[in-house]
Amino acid sequence: MSSLLYEKQIVIVDDDEIFLKLLKRILEASRFFVYPVSSTELLFEYIKNNHQIISLIIIDVFLPHDQFKKLIEVLKKDPDTKYIPIIAITGKKDGEQSKILSSGYDQEIEDFIFKPINPNEIILRCSRLIKLRDTFFSLKDKIEGSNKLINILEKKLKDITVIYNNIQLEYKKQKNSFEEKEEYFYSIAHDIKSPLNNITLGIDLYLLDAVNLNSNDHENLLEIKNTAIRISAMLQDFLSKVKDEKIGEILNFQWVHPSSILEILLREFYPEANQKELIMTLEMDENLSNVYWDQGQILRVFSNIIDNAIKFSPQNEMILIRFKQKKEHSTITIEDNGPGISEHEKEKVFDLFYQTNLNEKKSGFGIGLSFCKKMIEKHGGSIQIQNKENQKGTRVVVELPNNPSELFKV
């Protein structure tokens, strides 16, 4: 017997041996596997180990000793058999038909068939109930599977919520800690400025009165004064950058022509570049359109980048500023011929207070590029640092949307 037949097994309960054989032959002819039993005791014994493969039970209503009613009650209360459909078979008896039907449906019997049996009718009803049972269990499995999935998702969601809350808490701690450190550094920088000014002023006064000071001491004092001035300038740069960070939290967007920004930058850095005999070259598209930027903050961004390019470029080299514009965005590239930046430092240079090995030899606190990245991202743009193809020099590529208000509300 094939497994398909066992999956559609029908159990018949009737004390009439002749009827059992007749009904068994009818159903087996339609490829049902039939297991006949003549008593409720035999039925329970068989169900105990085989309830998983039973698709339908056919029961004679008039079993001896009123066993039908007790049998139905047991089958429908047992979780292993409560979902197995039942067909009750009975002979037509005057005055009892309505009583049988009423009591049968009260006992949750799925269908009734009256003797004499019509083979086509019982095959049709058995097939219909088995299909309904299969559909029910298919839906039941899907619902249980969905419930398990929902439980898993709910657990995952709770786990994610806990992780998210922990991240939020850690972020707040880090943010508070960072703000405290920033405030601390700002306070120290501000406090150091006054003693440095007093040192330079004191040296100037001393040099005015020190007529008999030998040349060696005079040079030492001037070196101390210049060092104090340089440190003071570094502190001023630090304070300005922190101030820029605070101011930059509120942006003042307005329509501006790119040429006005480029003109200001060239005019500002020409003297410094000229002092190092650097050539600043500008390449830009014709017919540039207005852009919707915060001009003040964008000027600070490119001032930082150009200042770095000048700072790290050897004498008699070239700095190239290129401005390309498309319909949606503009690309600004600044190239120098300095020593370049190592691969592992390309991302770190945007961290606040980070300085490359080269930068440590120059004046500065490692704030500029961090500010640049933050401000460019506030404009909906991006910044990349690349080494040039010949491995000599650095290329900074900035992409900015021409109108950030189309990307987000400003």
Q: Each residue of 121-167: pLDDT tens digit?
A: 888 989 888 888 888 888 877 777 777 777 776 777 677 667 767 76
Are residue 402 and residue 255 in the same domain, yes or no?
yes
Give the range among 125-129, 171-175, 290-294 with minimum mean pLDDT: 171-175
What CATH number is given to the structural domain containing 346? Answer: 3.30.565.10
Residue 203 lies in a domain: yes
The answer to whether 317 and 355 are in contact (CB under 8 A) is no
- The predicted-structure confidence for 32-80, as pLDDT tens digits, reads as follows 889 999 888 888 888 888 888 888 999 888 787 778 888 888 888 888 8
Question: What pTM does this model have?
Answer: 0.43
More confident residue, 405 or 347: 405
Contact 101/112 with Cβ under 8 angstroms? yes
Please indicate, yes or no, whether residues 181 and 217 belong to a single structural domain of this protein: yes
Distance of alpha carbon 66 from alpha carbon 263, whole angstroms: 107
Specify the pLDDT at position 360: 45
- Identify the band that residue 199 occupies on the pLDDT scale cut at 50, 70 and 90: confident
If one compares 381 and 117, the residue with the highest pLDDT of the two is: 381
Looking at the structure of the chain, the number of domains it has is 3
Query: What's the pLDDT score for residue 243?
Result: 60
- According to the model, what pLDDT value does residue 222 have? 79
Among the three residues 73, 90, 117, which one is the final residue of a domain in this structure?
117
Structural tokens at position 160: 């994610």
> What range does the domain containing 389 cover?
251-406
Instruction: State the DSSP H helix or E strand holding residue 297, giving kind and residue range, or none if neither.
Output: helix 295-312
The CATH number of residue 24's host domain is 3.40.50.2300
pLDDT in tens, 230-277: 777 766 766 666 665 555 556 889 999 999 999 999 988 888 888 889
Whether residue 221 lies inside any domain: the answer is: yes
**Both 265 and 401 in a single domain?**
yes
Nearest 10 degrees: Cα torsion 360, 361, 366, 372: -130
Look at residue 241 in the predicted model and tell me its pLDDT.
Answer: 62
